[in-house]
Amino acid sequence: MSTTATHCPYCALQCAMTLDPDSAAAAAQGFPEVRARQFPVNGGGMCRKGWTSAELLAHPSRLTAPLLRGPDGVFQEVSWDTALDRMAGEFRTAQHRYGRDGVGIFGGGGLTNEKAYQLGKFARVALRTSRIDYNGRFCMSSAAAAANRSLGADRGLPFPVTDLDDAHTVLLLGSNPAETMPPFVQHLQHAREHGGLIVVDPRRSATARMTDDDGGIHLQPTPGSDLVLLLGLAHVVLHEGLADLEYLERRTTGVEAFRTSVSAWWPEQVEQVTGVPAERLRRAARRLARERRGTYVLTGRGVEQHVDGTDTATAAINLALLLGLPGAPGSGWGTLTGQGNGQGGREHGQKADQLPGYRSITDPAARAHVAGVWGVDPEELPGAGIPAVELLTALGTEGGVRCLWVNGSNVVVGAPDTAAVTRGLQALDFLVVCDLFLSETAEYADLVLPVPQWAEEEGTMTNLEGRVLRRRRAVDPPPGARDELWIMAELARRLEAPGIFSPDPQEVFAELARASAGGTADYSGIGWAALDAGEACYWPYPAGSSTGTPRVFLDRFGHPDGRARLVPVRARAAGRAVDPSPRAHRREPLHGPGTLTLTTGRYLEHYQSGNQTRRVASLHGARPESRLQIHPATAAALGIRDGAAVELTSARGRAVALARLSTDIRPDTVFLPFHYAGDRTANRLVSSDAVDPVSSMPEFKAGAVTVRAIDPEERTR
């Protein structure tokens, strides 16, 4: 009777679920019963994380009161008034001392649209700081930059997921949905049965294994060489006359410069750089070009989280354009968005250079429009801030942020070079963290504020298809928790901020819709009533529209001339251009002798920094340890046995893990999950020195490490 229809708290698939707090099972377990609900994206399925998500609602280590660090360094529970007075006071002091940019905000792609929007507004209007960015910078920024540059708009999947149900050929680049979005795999079934699943991954991942039967193709390049692989696929398509010339003529610009840019990349040259056999590459290209309708190109973090991630994502779009896929019925290009609200979270102003509706903060017309909605003078809005890596590396320094509010991220585990991040957090004058649990980041805070969880709040989320969904409250939050909209309203009052900061999510959504009007991500026609009625609200959904836009780009691309751009991109290794000439066709070794390439990623059972899933008993039980996936031949050469303790060392630091020998990985590559804390943290090894020049994405997927067996005693907690 009292069941609530909502969506999973975790990833961007946003599987539909029903929560029942009153069933017999709920009474027995002490938290709501979770049931999967029929919905197009999940087809009634869910993964283990979704099934166990409600366990955290009643978790004993939930934060239930504001915690202020006392002079003795110990957290003490304080009242909300004390906490907010202090927070507002610290903001004021830091801005008085260091200027407006002395205060910064770090948001997250898991926040509802309302919270993400209000956070961006709070930064620009209440604090007037430019220093705001968020963890989506580590996630979707390369794919977003590429889509904006090539297609003029960034909606992760520009078509409904269910369009894939009819696909006969799907190229999946650096994406492992069998572990990262298990119910999504049902949409690949048709392609799989037709021998058309092509997976590009240096590991024989759970997804790559799906190509084993039915004649699919697994291409296993060395990490970070995907750009070359894509140039090679484009070369074959052009050389063999398989490009869709009519489409290129009608819908794109730049084809001639593009042709020149790939001309040297014969499959044999590509093989030298990537290790992918030339014939397999040709086979993949021919399969992709077989029939336009039913063919899709999709990317994931494996190709995007690199210093050349934007160019690699661009190369994937270029290939799709050559084949005539984007915006053509029954075919397309897309990227699989990651976090629960990774799509909506990148549209409404958490990003350093952005205003709501996917507008640019440097565009005078956008500033005027949004300032009008906010009731402030456009002159008062700050300019563009700095991206996450820069923001985090300058914490506590001259000219850097001195007082930081982290809301929806666990940077001590999820950000690159965690030792440097930790030093930065310690150098701050004041750190506030809002979270559900005392995360590794919150442990460094001066003030920790407890917020409600997904099933305790109302709001909206935008899933990986750009479809806006309702998140609904099924149970009350713990008495001491307060949601961020209320927190921002209280702070705005204390800071005497202009404009309105409503604590009511429905009011905030209505304002967001107005602020987004006329922007790329236009929500102005979406009302909560339509969302509650279960309508499929895909953006752009301008006021007056009755359907929104399930498929963008059908008639035109987002650029003013309506055409897509073929953007020529060049292959680089470690910052140096790769020479495709036959004489120099070996790629410069990325790393010195004795080093292995470290790539990082995910386990099915854990979510991101693990702050949530490491607390779920059955998930922790299934994956209690970080395991280094290493090829048996490599392990043998290093004297490493299966299950042995190992230490990884990079230029940045060291981390420990247990070895898992597996022939599913290239001998030159090792894989580590990034879900673990302390000395297991993979990001202790990841550098923040080099970032993608366009997106500021760090290199998460191709680092240089040495590995050695260690005495189990050395593997301390």
Number of Cβ within a 10 Å radius of residue 545: 15
Specify the residue for token string 């890596």.
389
Identify the bridge partners of residue 703 per DSSP, sorted by sequence position. Answer: 598
Residue 93 beta carbon to ligand MGD: minimum distance, rounded to whole angstroms: 23
Q: How big is the chain, counted in residues?
A: 717
Cα(174)–Cα(146) distance, rounded to whole angstroms? 16
Q: Select the residue interacting with ligand MGD from 26, 41, 139, 646 (CB under 6 A).
A: 139
Cα(403)–Cα(129) distance, rounded to whole angstroms? 11
Q: Tell me: does residue 519 bind Mo ion (CB under 5 A).
A: no
Q: Give me the sign of the Cα torsion angle 586, 591, 594, 597.
A: negative
Q: Choose the contact partner of 682 out of ligand SF4, Mo ion, ligand MGD, none; CB within 5 to 8 A by kind.
A: ligand MGD
Q: In terms of CB distance, is 556 or 620 closer to ligand MGD?
A: 620
Q: In terms of CB distance, is 174 or 182 closer to ligand SF4?
A: 182
Q: Tell me: does residue 139 bind Mo ion (CB under 5 A).
A: yes
Cα(686)–Cα(462) distance, rounded to whole angstroms? 30
Residue 83 beta carbon to ligand MGD: minimum distance, rounded to whole angstroms: 14
Q: Select the residue interacting with ligand MGD from 295, 609, 650, 687 (CB under 6 A).
A: 609
Specify the residue for token string 């799906």.
210
Burial of 494 (0-12, 13-18, 19+ CB in 10 A): middle
The footprint of ligand MGD on residues 292-351 (CB under 6 A) is 300-303, 305, 338-339
**What is the pairing mode between strands 703-709 and 16-20?**
unpaired
The footprint of ligand MGD on residues 658-687 (CB under 6 A) is 671, 674, 682-683, 686
The footprint of ligand MGD on residues 223-252 (CB under 6 A) is 223-224, 226
Q: Which region, judged by CB under 6 A, interacts with ligand SF4, from 11-19, 226-234, 359-367, 486-494?
A: 11-19
Q: Which region, judged by CB under 6 A, interacts with ligand SF4, from 7-15, 206-214, 231-239, 658-666?
A: 7-15
Q: Select the residue interacting with ligand MGD from 408, 450, 527, 540 (CB under 6 A).
A: 408
CB-based contacts of 71: which residues, under 8 Å, 6+ apart? Answer: none
Q: Which of 591, 579, 569 is CA-nearest to residue 649?
A: 591
Q: Select the residue interacting with ligand SF4 from 19, 26, 34, 46 (CB under 6 A).
A: 46
Q: Choose the contact partner of 46 out of ligand MGD, ligand SF4, Mo ion, none; CB within 5 to 8 A by kind.
A: ligand SF4
Q: Choose the contact partner of 182 out of ligand MGD, Mo ion, ligand SF4, none; CB within 5 to 8 A by kind.
A: ligand SF4
3-state secondary structure of 543: coil
Q: Choose the contact partner of 65 out of ligand SF4, Mo ion, ligand MGD, none; CB within 5 to 8 A by kind.
A: none
Residue 22 beta carbon to ligand SF4: minimum distance, rounded to whole angstroms: 22
CB-based contacts of 646: which residues, under 8 Å, 6+ apart? Answer: 628, 630, 640, 656, 657, 658, 659, 707, 708, 709, 710
Q: Amino acid identity, residue 368?
A: A
Residue 89 near residue 645 (C-beta atoms within 8 A): no
Q: Which of 641, 631, 629 is CA-nearest to residue 600?
A: 629
**What is the pairing mode between strands 132-134 and 103-107?**
parallel
Cα(13)–Cα(43) distance, rounded to whole angstroms? 11
Cα(689)–Cα(641) distance, rounded to whole angstroms? 33
Q: In terms of CB distance, is 11 or 521 closer to ligand SF4?
A: 11
Q: Tell me: does residue 13 bind ligand SF4 (CB under 6 A).
A: yes
Q: Tell me: does residue 432 bind Mo ion (CB under 5 A).
A: no
Give the tokens for residue 277.
């056999």
Task: Tell me the C-alpha to C-alpha distance, in Å, between residue 463 and each of 100, 113, 289, 697.
Answer: 34, 11, 30, 22
Residue 15 beta carbon to ligand MGD: minimum distance, rounded to whole angstroms: 11
Give the tokens for residue 425.
């957090």
Identify the bridge partners of residue 577 per DSSP, sorted by sequence position. Answer: 572
Q: Tell me: does residue 181 bind ligand SF4 (CB under 6 A).
A: yes
Q: In terms of CB distance, is 410 or 634 closer to ligand SF4?
A: 410
Q: In terms of CB distance, is 392 or 495 closer to ligand MGD?
A: 392
Residue 442 beta carbon to ligand SF4: minimum distance, rounded to whole angstroms: 23
Q: Tell me: does residue 196 bind ligand SF4 (CB under 6 A).
A: no
Q: Tell me: does residue 344 bind Mo ion (CB under 5 A).
A: no
Q: Tell me: does residue 338 bind Mo ion (CB under 5 A).
A: yes
Q: Choose the contact partner of 183 out of ligand SF4, Mo ion, ligand MGD, none; CB within 5 to 8 A by kind.
A: ligand SF4
Q: Select the residue interacting with ligand MGD from 164, 317, 421, 451 (CB under 6 A).
A: 451
Q: Tell me: does residue 83 bind ligand MGD (CB under 6 A).
A: no
Binding residues (CB under 5 A) for Mo ion: these are: 139, 338-339
Binding residues (CB under 6 A) for ligand SF4: these are: 8, 10-11, 13-15, 42, 46-47, 49-50, 181-183
